[in-house]
Amino acid sequence: MKEYEIAIVGGGPSGLMAAVAALGKNIVILEKNDSLASKLLLTGGGRCNLTNNKPIKKLLNSFHDKNFLKHSFYTLTNEKLISIFENQGLYFIEEDDNRIFPETERAVDVLDTLTDYLEDVDIKYNFKVESIDKKDDKFIIDDNIKASSVIIATGGITYPQTGSTGDGYYLTSHEVSDIKYGLSPLITRDDLRDYAGINLYNVSVSYKKSEIFGDVLITHQGLTGPAILNISNLISYDNDYNLLDNKNIVLDNVRIAIDLTPDYTRDELSEKFILDFQAKGKTLLKNYLKYLLTNSFIPLFLEKAGLDGEVKLANITKKDKNKLINSLKGLEFEIVGFMGELSKVTVGGIKIDDINSKTMESKLVEGLYFAGEVLEPVGYTGGYNLKIAFSTGYLAGMSASKSLD
């Protein structure tokens, strides 16, 4: 039985960063696939959105579990994270919404840079961990490997084709919260196949009291795009289900509303329509809407709003004008489910109440650490989730290393 100081279960972003942070110790990475970080290579459309460069306090305020993440974010700041790569010659650019990408726009370069650090780290591929036991202050993994510390970095349950199948939920005695879809396209009650491919730019999507700005894309099954992916997290938090029990999720009485004209208030639209309807009285409503909406979206809008596009502006009733304003400011869609196969992250995981946020060490088992998506915290699209992975991984690796000194 080979012995190591630190065994890292999972060779994704958090596991690799844990190894980087613990360099100098005798480390093994146990990866179930035949290659490292399969999911990392898919992020940012294959470009790898490394992190989000908002000021750290503003960044933390974007997270549901900001108090738990605070210490890891301050331990591995964005500046320090980027320097890890720049020290190996990989540089970055900042795009809209503070998103950070490698200059090469290749996720594989991020992976290659991380692996360049790991020349002295033992990596075992096609190694699916089945059991972890602790005997005499040592961890025994599959009766094959002995380690002083173990870091669980197995990821969540989404994108199972990359190896993320929820293995880490079952390897310890730690409680697991309900596991749900995150950053998922949504399935609508409406049949939108005839409108698939239409983009709605710079709109606002609301769910109950929450509102998220961004783009929306209509698909054959429903809606996607950054604003929809982000709102899906809130829908998951708000609805009772657990993917560990059942993956065929049907939502009941879930509605979102899209503000198609967020630059106008209702009063401003009303005033605009008074002036425009007088000045352009002979114009048909469907033609007038071209000034406000994507042309190909207008038929769907009119259908859902219950308005006649052939009516002239001068003949629109007060009732229909109010209906027009209400629909522009909040076009409703009923959501019946998630496109789970396209869910990018997992909501839920190992309960953070049992994890020391200052070290990522278990409060239940000394020497056992957790990092990345296997934990409960989840973020929006735009570099937030890789930020969690890298920061918690770094803190776990650093803490495990220091505990052995």
CATH number, domain with residue 103? 3.50.50.60
- Measured between alpha carbons, how far is 57 from 70 in angstroms, rounded to an integer? 9
Q: Of 321, 340, 359, at which residue does a domain stop?
A: 340
Bridging pattern class, strands 254-259 and 199-207: antiparallel
Burial environment of residue 278 by CB neighbours within 10 A (0 to 12, 13 to 18, 19 or more): exposed
Q: Of 300, 316, 340, at which residue does a domain stop?
A: 340
Phi, psi of 215 (to 5 degrees): -100, 155
Structure-model confidence comparison of residues 165 and 302, the more confident one:
302
Tell me what pLDDT residue 11 has: 97
What does the block give as tokens for 298? 């207008």
Instruction: Output the CA torsion 316→317→318→319 (10° steps).
Output: -110
- Whether residue 164 is predicted with pLDDT greater than 90 in this model: the reply is no
**Which residues face 23 on adjacent strands?**
25
- Residue 191, classed as helix, strand or coil, is coil
Q: Average pLDDT in the 122-149 region? A: 97
Phi, psi of 358 (to 5 degrees): -80, -15
Answer yes or no: are the C-beta atoms of 404 and 5 closer than 8 Å: yes
Tell me what pLDDT residue 163 has: 83
Answer yes or no: are the C-beta atoms of 100 and 85 closer than 8 Å: no
- The 10s digit of each residue's pLDDT in 178-231 is 999 999 999 999 999 999 999 999 999 999 999 999 999 999 999 999 999 999
Residue 122 and residue 227 share a domain? no
DSSP 177: P
- Contacts for 216 with CB less than 8 Å, ≥ 6 apart: 199, 200, 203, 205, 223, 224, 225, 227, 228, 258
Tell me what pLDDT residue 295 has: 96
Tell me what pLDDT residue 161 has: 83
Q: Of 307, 340, 373, at which residue does a domain stop?
A: 340
Tell me what pLDDT residue 124 has: 98
Q: How confident is the model at residue 262 (pLDDT cuts 50, 70, 90)?
A: very high
Tell me what pLDDT residue 162 has: 86
Bridging pattern class, strands 186-188 and 331-338: antiparallel
Domain housing 153: 2-177+348-403
Residue 171 and residue 188 share a domain? no
Residue 94 and residue 224 share a domain? no
Residue type, 291: Y
Residue 43 and residue 75 share a domain? yes
Residue 274 and residue 322 share a domain? yes
CATH number, domain with residue 220? 2.40.30.10
- Whether residue 261 is predicted with pLDDT greater than 90 in this model: the reply is yes
DSSP characters for 125-147? SS-----EEEETTEEEETTTEEE
Of 29, 91, 350, the closest CA to residue 20 belongs to 29
Q: Average pLDDT in the 97-122 region? A: 97
Tell me what pLDDT residue 399 has: 98
Residue 250 and residue 270 share a domain? no
Structure-model confidence comparison of residues 161 and 210, the more confident one:
210
Q: How many residues does the chain have?
A: 405
Tell me what pLDDT residue 248 has: 87
Residue 206 and residue 119 share a domain? no
- Whether residue 144 is predicted with pLDDT greater than 90 in this model: the reply is yes
Residue 201 and residue 162 share a domain? no
- The 10s digit of each residue's pLDDT in 341-369 is 999 999 999 999 999 999 999 999 999 99
CATH number, domain with residue 322? 1.10.8.50
Tell me what pLDDT residue 83 has: 98
Mean pLDDT of all residues belonging to the chain:
97
- Whether residue 160 is predicted with pLDDT greater than 90 in this model: the reply is no
Residue 18 and residue 96 share a domain? yes
Of 388, 394, 386, the closest CA to residue 42 belongs to 386
Residue 123 and residue 21 share a domain? yes
Answer yes or no: are the C-beta atoms of 167 and 128 closer than 8 Å: yes
Residue 25 and residue 132 share a domain? yes
Of 401, 405, 375, 366, the closest CA to residue 6 belongs to 401
- The 10s digit of each residue's pLDDT in 17-66 is 999 999 999 999 999 999 999 999 999 899 999 999 999 999 999 999 99
- Whether residue 159 is predicted with pLDDT greater than 90 in this model: the reply is no
This prediction's pTM? 0.95
Q: Average pLDDT in the 286-291 region? A: 98
Residue 239 and residue 323 share a domain? no
- The 10s digit of each residue's pLDDT in 238-252 is 999 999 998 889 999
Tell me what pLDDT residue 247 has: 85
Please count the structural domains in the chain.
Answer: 3
DSSP 95: E
Tell me what pLDDT residue 230 has: 98
What does the block give as tokens for 400? 């495990």
